[in-house]
Amino acid sequence: MSRWLVDGMNVIGSRPTGWWRDRPGAMRDLADELAAFAAASGEEVAVVFDGKPFELAAPHVDVAFASRRGPDAADDDIADRVAADPEPADLLVVTSDAALAKRARDAGAEVVGAGAFRRRLDELG
């Protein structure tokens, strides 16, 4: 069984939907879509968002915010999670960020592009 680790802002930013006008709303929408994906697939899903934390719960999804602010904050947390995972080969890291993708692959995880994953979510919707 695969475990998904999602670069939240990278998936949100993969389409020009106007998400920047309501960043928390876009995060809630993605969390809801990830909850539906987790329920349908039965697979573990975690997402890490950049930005100031706020109350954001989604059933069956481990929702986290970057542990610090600044450039690559969520990327660093995602890379740290992969590096600390006892079975990184079971992880599918969702990102189109080349540097994060390299770090994830180097630590043993597989990488799925944000656009490809976005299409998977759309198929459920």
Tens digit of pLDDT for each residue in 57-100? 899 999 999 999 998 999 999 999 999 999 999 999 999 999 99
Q: Where are the alpha helices (DSSP H) in 63-111?
A: 73-84, 98-106
* Separation CA 88–CA 40 (nearest Å): 23
Q: Which residue type is seen at 93? A: V
| Containing structural domain, residue 83 | 3-124
Question: Quick one: pLDDT band at residue 113, thresholds 50, 70, 90?
Answer: very high
pLDDT digits (tens, 9 = 90+) for 11-55: 999 988 899 999 999 999 999 999 999 999 999 999 999 999 999
pTM of the shown model? 0.95
If residue 13 lies in a helix (H) or strand (E), which one and from where to where?
A: none
**Cα–Cα distances in Å, from 89 out to 7, 83, 98, 109?**
17, 11, 19, 5
Which CATH number covers residue 90? 3.40.50
Residues 6 or more apart in contact with residue 35 via CB below 8 angstroms: 45, 58, 59, 60, 61
pLDDT digits (tens, 9 = 90+) for 9-21: 999 999 888 999 9
Report the number of distinct structural domains present in the chain: 1
Contact (Cβ atoms closer than 8 angstroms) between residue 108 and residue 24: no
